[in-house]
Amino acid sequence: MSGGGKTREGAAAGEGAAAILLRYLQEQNRPHSAQDAFGNLQREHGLGKTAVVKALEQLAQQGKIKEKVYGKQKIYFPDQDRFGNVSDSELKGLDNEISELSCKVQTLQQNCRHMESELKELKGSMTTPEMVKEIEDLKKDCANYTEKLERIKSAANHVTPEEKEKVYNEKKLYCKEWRRRKRMATELLDAILEGYPKSKKQFFEEVGIETDEDFNVTLPTI
């Protein structure tokens, strides 16, 4: 009894797989290998590879699908006779319809790419509330700068270009004199230190010499 039950269950499973494969091939209406059919239906229906192969062979033997052998591989496809005879004019009409639909698809694809580009640009732009806030901030900055400019224009203690040039010239003169005197002092101290028995630091402490470095002062660059 148990052996007969398993046989009936196996047959039922085979019939179920055959029905699934027949419906799938008719819907797709293009050639499939057993591996193609297994890969496309395994996840959705849980069909095993062996069950798919047996079901396809069974459908071919029953004449429900066609089988072609290419080398070591078998290809299965639905019987095209089920669509009936189609005249040349009908085929031409179908070809024209396919051409028209292909043009529509291309146009829709171009429109889709254009809209995707616009969407990407919009996502990278500020929203309306963000733009309103940005405008308000810029207006505040503009008002502050305008007020600052008016204060500068109304100030009575402007420095003329001549006065500015005089200050820069004096700075150059003082820096030049500073550099000259520092060089003279360095040469003199180096000459004294040649015969001094102690270190340079001890000599500076005894004499009371203070250097620019002691006060972190750097000679300006002109």
Give the mean model confidence (pLDDT) for residues 83-87: 63
CA distance 83 to 192: 118
The answer as to CATH 3.40.50.300 being correct for domain 10-82 is no
Lowest-confidence region among 27-36, 38-47, 83-92: 83-92
Q: According to the model, what pLDDT value does residue 177 have?
A: 92
SS3 29: coil
Output the pLDDT for position 153: 78
Categorize the per-residue pLDDT at 109 as very low, low, confident or very high, splitting at 50, 70 and 90.
Answer: very high
- Look at residue 145 in the predicted model and tell me its pLDDT: 93
- Residue 125 — very low, low, confident or very high, per pLDDT cuts 50/70/90? confident
Domains of the chain: which residue ranges?
10-82, 85-125, 128-158, 162-215
Show Cβ contacts of residue 213 under 8 Å, excluding neighbours closer than 6 positions. none
Mean pLDDT lowest among 24-38, 105-119, 151-165:
151-165
- What pLDDT score does 12 carry? 43
Tokens of 51: 């069950």
> Residue 54, Cβ neighbours under 10 Å: how many?
17
Contact assessment for residue 38 and residue 52, using Cβ atoms and an 8 Å cutoff: yes
pLDDT band at 14 (very low <50, low <70, confident <90, very high): low
Please tell me whether residue 159 adopts helix, strand or coil conformation.
Answer: coil
Distance of CA 20 to the CA centre of its chain: 42
